[in-house]
A = this chain, B = another copy of it.
Amino acid sequence: MENKIDDINRKILRRLQENSRESFASIGRLVGLTPPAVAERVKKMEDLGILEGYKARVNHLKMGYQLRAIVTIKAFMGKLKPFLEKVRSMQEVINCYRITGNENIIMEVVLLDQLHLEQFIDQLIQYGETRTHIILSDIISDAPIMGNKGI
A19 contact from B53, B64, B101, B150, Cβ within 8 A:
B53
Task: Judge whether B56 and A16 touch: CB under 8 Å.
Answer: yes
Task: Judge whether A53 and B57 touch: CB under 8 Å.
Answer: yes
Task: Identify the closest chain B residue to A84 (Cβ).
Answer: B139
Question: Which residues of chain B are within 8 angstroms of A56 by Cβ–Cβ distance?
Answer: 13, 16-17, 20, 51, 53-55
Question: Which residues of chain B are within 8 angstroms of A84 by Cβ–Cβ distance?
Answer: 139
Compute how far the CA of A41 lies from the CA of B40 in the bound complex, rounded to whole angstroms: 31
For residue A59, CB closer than 8 A to chain B, the reply is yes
Using a CB-CB cutoff of 8 Å, which residues 78-111 of chain A contact chain B? 84, 87-88, 91, 93-101, 103, 105-107, 110
Give the number of chain A interface residues (Cβ < 8 Å). 64
Nearest chain B CB to A28's CB is how many angstroms away? 16
Residues on A facing B (Cβ under 8 Å): 5, 13, 16-21, 48-60, 62-65, 70, 84, 87-88, 91, 93-101, 103, 105-107, 110, 112, 131-148, 150
Besides A50-B59, A63-B147, 4 other CB < 8 A contacts?
A: A20-B20, A20-B21, A101-B133, A107-B140
- Give me 16 A-to-B residue pairs in the complex whose CB atoms sit less than 8 angstroms apart, sorted by A's number: A16-B55, A49-B59, A51-B57, A52-B58, A53-B56, A55-B56, A63-B145, A64-B148, A70-B106, A87-B139, A88-B140, A95-B141, A95-B142, A98-B137, A99-B136, A110-B145
